[in-house]
């Protein structure tokens, strides 16, 4: 095992990992970060999404050793002080039902709105194409992201 | 889901260190860049390396620039990097168009074009674009360097001309000198994240010549030279398009798998070729925004 240090939600954390340890498992089982979920475990469903140096990435496809010296943001680090406008609009518009996909969707949409504050519906759909939701049919999620983007 | 297989991990900070490791471990070494294929293969037991060599510390592999009319894509350039690069979008729009169809943002932020090339699945999205551009793959090992033509790169499904101990440093893509326009048609089961059921890239070059390449329609992505010879010098009318479609059907060898039947692929390949040709020619004579080359 080797110690790696990385910034997790704004705070430097050190954890001992083996080369074959997957970031998702290290976050959930050793660092108490439960918002990234295990879904397909092969990069298709997006429920394990984290932001790596500000860009959305699949934590199920990243070895923990790879993030040494990097910055990881999970839902725990988004709106920690107060909810973001995106989170507020997700609540106001009942964006989610079971909520399993919510952390991944919110992180992916956070990246989108940062890069493109007023996305078109097409751009929202394209950005969220890799985040599967089996409850809502996506309509309420797209509406919430559009509302947060100020172009309903 | 944990990885059961054990391996060691190295993160060389320069090319010489990486090549020395690859020389020592040869086929037992796996290269890690974005990891979107490798980590799945480690989890599912298809990859069992003794060492994983993470090349992300080698800064020279990040290069992504145009020089002497050639686009050079370093081994660490991700599909998102390609989509963000102004020079790619304006001078190599087919590369950008293909990159935009790869999986989804969260994958494109990590997955590299060179990794896609090295995985060499028959459905790879970057294959047809690189084939119509006559790309070169630049490879180094402890023994020296060589350039491999993209036409000799794919030797079978998931098999390439890369030898143990060799590392791809970049892909270079020459820009055709004559005016040209191109189009990538991707057939998927739904819009959004999916592997191609079939992919066709078309480049129309001023003077009525056409370059055509396909993916997911044969054991490896390749140029449709017979179709090109039939179209050479031709204005696209209904008769020529019918001949080209028939020629394509003879040139491809689609299979039936979980994504589509061979008959469906064969039929849609003809439709995609025709639409791709029309769209490429339309773009050649037009300026301004263009539609995404994806079937509805």
Domains of chain B by residue range: 8-57, 60-174, 180-284
Helices and strands of chain B, counted as H and E runs: 12, 14
Report in angstroms the alpha-carbon separations of A129 from A47, B97, B105, B115.
Answer: 12, 17, 8, 22
Chain A residues touching residue B8 (CB < 8 angstroms) = 19
Q: Report how far residue A145's alpha carbon sits from residue A118's, in angstroms, rounded to the nearest whole number.
A: 10
Task: Give the model's confidence band at B287: pLDDT under 50 very low, under 70 low, under 90 confident, else very high.
Answer: low
Work out whether the CA dihedral B236, B242, B247, B253 comes out positive or negative. Answer: positive
Q: Which residues of chain A have pLDDT under 70?
A: 151-152
Q: Report how far residue A10's alpha carbon sits from residue B9's, in angstroms, rounded to the nearest whole number.
A: 27
Mean pLDDT for B265-271 is: 96
Kindly give the interhelix angle for A102-115 and A85-92, rounded to the nearest 10 degrees: 130
Cβ distance B76 to B33 under 8 Å?
yes
Rg (CA), chain A: 15
CATH second-level architecture of B8-57?
2-Layer Sandwich (3.30)
Q: Report how far residue B213's alpha carbon sits from residue B228's, in angstroms, rounded to the nearest whole number.
A: 9
Q: Percentage of chain B with pLDDT > 90?
A: 92
User: What integer pLDDT is reported at residue A152 of this predicted model?
Assistant: 40
Where is average pLDDT lowest: A116-125, B123-132, B181-190?
Answer: B181-190
Residue B193 has pLDDT above 90, yes or no: no
Residue B171 has pLDDT above 70, yes or no: yes
Report the topology of domain B180-284. Enolase-like; domain 1 (3.30.390)
A41–B6: do the CB atoms touch at under 8 Å?
Answer: no
CA distance A22 to chain B (A): 7
User: What integer pLDDT is reported at residue A117 of this predicted model?
Assistant: 95
User: What integer pLDDT is reported at residue A21 of this predicted model?
Assistant: 98
Q: Which of B211, B202, B252 is CA-nearest to residue B232?
A: B211
Give the pLDDT confidence of B149-161 residue by residue, as tens digits: 999 999 999 999 9
Q: Which of B151, B107, B147, B145 is CA-nearest to residue B133?
A: B151
Mean pLDDT for B34-48 is: 97
Mutate to test the interface with A, among B62, B105, B111, B194 (most CBs of A within 10 A): B105
Report in angstroms the alpha-carbon separations of A118 from A106, A109, A113, A115, A152.
Answer: 16, 12, 7, 9, 9
Cβ distance B227 to B248 under 8 Å?
yes
Residue B293 has pLDDT above 80, yes or no: no
Q: Report how far residue B126's alpha carbon sits from residue B186's, in angstroms, rounded to the nearest whole number.
A: 11
**Burial state string for A26-43 with b = 16 or more CB within 10 A and e = fewer than 16:** bbbeebebebbbebebbb
Task: Give the model's confidence band at B244: pLDDT under 50 very low, under 70 low, under 90 confident, else very high.
Answer: very high
A115 CB-near residues (< 8 Å, 6+ apart): none
CA B176 to centroid of chain Cα atoms: 18
Task: Give the model's confidence band at B192: pLDDT under 50 very low, under 70 low, under 90 confident, else very high.
Answer: low
**Burial state string for B41-63 with b = 16 or more CB within 10 A and e = fewer than 16:** bbbeeebebebbbbbbebeebee
Cβ distance B29 to B49 under 8 Å?
yes
B54–A66: do the CB atoms touch at under 8 Å?
Answer: yes
Residue B292 has pLDDT above 50, yes or no: no
Chain A residues touching residue B11 (CB < 8 angstroms) = 65
Residue B290 has pLDDT above 60, yes or no: no
Q: Report how far residue B22's alpha carbon sits from residue B30's, in angstroms, rounded to the nearest whole number.
A: 9
Can you name the residues that pair with B54 across neighbouring β-strands? Answer: B32
> Where do the domains of chain A lie, and which CATH numbers do they carry?
2-77 (3.10.20.30), 85-148 (1.10.150.120)
Q: Report how far residue B94's alpha carbon sits from residue B293's, in angstroms, rounded to the nearest whole number.
A: 10
Q: Is the ipTM of this complex over 0.85?
A: yes
B39–A130: do the CB atoms touch at under 8 Å?
Answer: no
Strand locations in chain B (E): 8-10, 29-32, 51-54, 64-67, 70-74, 136-141, 144-149, 154-156, 159-160, 167-174, 180-187, 198-205, 209-215, 222-223
Chain A residues touching residue B9 (CB < 8 angstroms) = 19, 63, 65
Q: Rounded mean pLDDT of chain B? A: 94
- 3-class state of residue B77 by DSSP: coil
Residue of B nearest to A20 (CA): B3
User: What integer pLDDT is reported at residue B291 of this predicted model?
Assistant: 42
* Cβ-based contacts under 8 A for chains A and B: 96
User: What integer pLDDT is reported at residue B289 of this predicted model?
Assistant: 46
Of A20, A38, A108, the CB nearest to B3: A20
Chain A residues touching residue B32 (CB < 8 angstroms) = 63, 66
**What predicted TM-score, i.e. pTM, was given to this entire model?**
0.95
User: What integer pLDDT is reported at residue B188 of this predicted model?
Assistant: 87
Q: Which class in CATH covers the domain with range B60-174? A: alpha beta
């Amino acid at each position: 095992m080797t110690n790696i240090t990385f910034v997790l939600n704004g705070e430097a954390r050190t954890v001992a990992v083996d080369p074959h340890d997957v970031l998702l498992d290290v976050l959930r089982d050793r660092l108490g970060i439960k918002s990234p979920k295990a879904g397909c475990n092969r990069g298709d469903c997006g429920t394990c999404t984290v932001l790596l140096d500000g860009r959305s990435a699949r934590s199920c496809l990243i070895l923990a050793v790879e993030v040494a010296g990097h910055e990881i943001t999970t839902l725990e680090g988004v709106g920690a002080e107060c909810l973001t406008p995106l989170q507020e609009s997700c609540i106001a518009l009942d964006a989610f039902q079971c909520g399993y996909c919510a952390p991944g969707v919110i992180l992916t949409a956070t990246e989108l709105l940062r890069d493109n504050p007023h996305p078109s519906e097409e751009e929202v759909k394209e950005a969220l194409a890799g985040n599967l939701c089996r409850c809502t049919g996506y309509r309420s999620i797209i509406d919430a992201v559009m509302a947060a983007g100020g172009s309903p | 889901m944990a990885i059961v297989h054990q391996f060691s991990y190295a993160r060389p900070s320069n090319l010489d260190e990486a090549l020395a490791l690859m020389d020592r471990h040869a086929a037992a070494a796996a290269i890690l860049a974005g990891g979107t294929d490798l980590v799945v293969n480690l989890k599912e037991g298809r990859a069992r390396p003794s060492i994983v060599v993470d090349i992300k510390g080698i800064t020279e592999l990040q290069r992504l620039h145009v020089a002497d009319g050639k686009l050079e894509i370093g081994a660490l350039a991700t599909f998102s990097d390609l989509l963000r690069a102004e020079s790619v979008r304006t001078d190599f729009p087919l590369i950008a168009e293909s990159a935009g169809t790869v999986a989804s943002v969260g994958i494109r932020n990590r997955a590299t074009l060179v990794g896609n090339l090295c995985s060499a699945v028959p459905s790879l999205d970057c294959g047809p674009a690189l084939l119509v551009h006559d790309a070169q793959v630049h490879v180094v090992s402890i023994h020296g360097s060589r350039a491999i033509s993209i036409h000799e790169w794919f030797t079978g499904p998931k098999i390439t001309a890369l030898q143990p101990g060799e590392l791809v440093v970049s892909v270079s893509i020459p820009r055709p000198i004559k005016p040209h326009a191109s189009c990538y048609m991707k057939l998927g089961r739904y819009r959004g994240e999916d592997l191609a059921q079939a992919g066709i890239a078309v480049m129309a070059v001023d003077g009525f010549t056409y370059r055509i390449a396909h993916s997911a329609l044969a054991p490896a992505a390749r140029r449709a030279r017979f179709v090109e010879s039939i179209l050479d010098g031709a204005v696209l009318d209904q008769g020529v398009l019918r001949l080209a479609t028939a020629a394509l059907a003879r040139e491809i060898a689609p299979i039936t798998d979980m994504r589509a039947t061979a008959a469906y692929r064969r039929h849609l390949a003809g439709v995609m070729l025709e639409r791709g040709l029309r769209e490429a020619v339309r773009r050649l004579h037009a300026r301004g925004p263009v539609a995404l080359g994806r079937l509805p």
